[in-house]
Structure 1
Amino acid sequence: MLKDLSKNIVEDIAVAVALEKETPESKIWYVYLINLKDQPIENVLVTSKGYGEKDGEQVKTSVLRHMMPLVEAGASALIEPIDEATFGLNNEYWVSYYIGKDIYDKKFIFLPESIVDSNFIKLPVLNKVGVMIR
């Protein structure tokens, strides 16, 4: 039965952590969903959570859920702001969406200390600097 299910492979979808604004005192970061496809995605659900170890203790953040009715082709959607204090944790974003009647889902995980200057790229669609997982 499992072999009869179609394997809907997620392609051309990315989650990015972008540096939004920088002042001498602080940096403001946002997480975006980027649709690199040539078609829109619909009924997008993103769950986010952080987990890992900090100062020898296991830490978990709250699970947040975000809904986007539509993300156009070649566009982005804001998921949430993110605090630099969580960059030492695993930051997980589970994305589910529809194209027509087919559902797709994929987990994107920013590993601890992966959101650092040495990993920055110019993010497509957003034209900002940050880290992206495809």
Structure 2
Amino acid sequence: MKKDIQIPELENVFMAVVKEYNDEFQCEDWNVYLINDKEEDLEMILIVSKGYDEDKLIETSVMRKTLKQLPAKSFAKIELIQPDLFKLTNFFNTTFFVRNTMYEKKFEFEKNTIKEGALRVIKQMGTKEGIISK
């Protein structure tokens, strides 16, 4: 039975934390994005996120987000992330379907890795700068 379970390798799907200007509030925000660089749409997407620090026994509440579909070669904003959380390890468990196959991936940003000095242009998002987790 266990040998019959196939877990496909996930490629060309990323999570990114992007720093961008918020016109409405006239300030810089950090936002989390899911990037689909595949040639196929992602469907029935469920994202569960949480921040934690095992050394200090700190953890945030669990956040859940769903998206019906993320078209091929596109990206979607998942949530705003507060800079106070950068001192924690932040993870995003992502589950979705491509055709009839279910995929699952845990994207993780280690504590203190989300910072100004780590910003790079994310080619899948045009000129936006951020930190990408593969």
TM-score scaled by length of structure 2: 0.90
Q: Give the percent of matched residue pairs that are identical in Structure 1 and Structure 2.
A: 32
Gap runs ≥5 in structure 1: none
Match of 2:103 in 1: 104
- State the Cα distance separating 1:117 from its structure 2 match: 2.7
- State the Cα distance separating 1:119 from its structure 2 match: 2.1
Match of 1:14 in 2: 14
- State the Cα distance separating 1:9 from its structure 2 match: 1.3
TM-score scaled by length of structure 1: 0.90
Within a 5 Å distance, the mapping from 1:47-58 to structure 2 comes to: 47-52=48-53, 57-58=56-57
Match of 2:36 in 1: 35
Match of 2:62 in 1: 63
Match of 2:121 in 1: 122
Specify the code of the residue in structure 1 equivalent to 2:64: R
Aligned length: 131
- In 2, Cα distance between equivalents of 1:90 and 1:57: 12
Q: CA RMSD in A?
A: 1.9
The superposition leaves residues 68-126 of structure 1 with CA deviations (integer Å, 9 ceiling, x where unpaired) of: 00000000011100000000000000010001111000101100011123322111332
- State the Cα distance separating 1:7 from its structure 2 match: 2.0
Report the 3-state secondary structure (helix = DSSP H, G, I; strand = E; otherwise coil) of the residue aligned with 2:15. Answer: strand
Gap runs ≥5 in structure 2: none
Report the 3-state secondary structure (helix = DSSP H, G, I; strand = E; otherwise coil) of the residue aligned with 2:57. Answer: strand
- In 1, Cα distance between equivalents of 2:123 and 2:58: 32
- State the Cα distance separating 1:26 from its structure 2 match: 5.7
Specify the code of the residue in structure 1 equivalent to 2:93: W
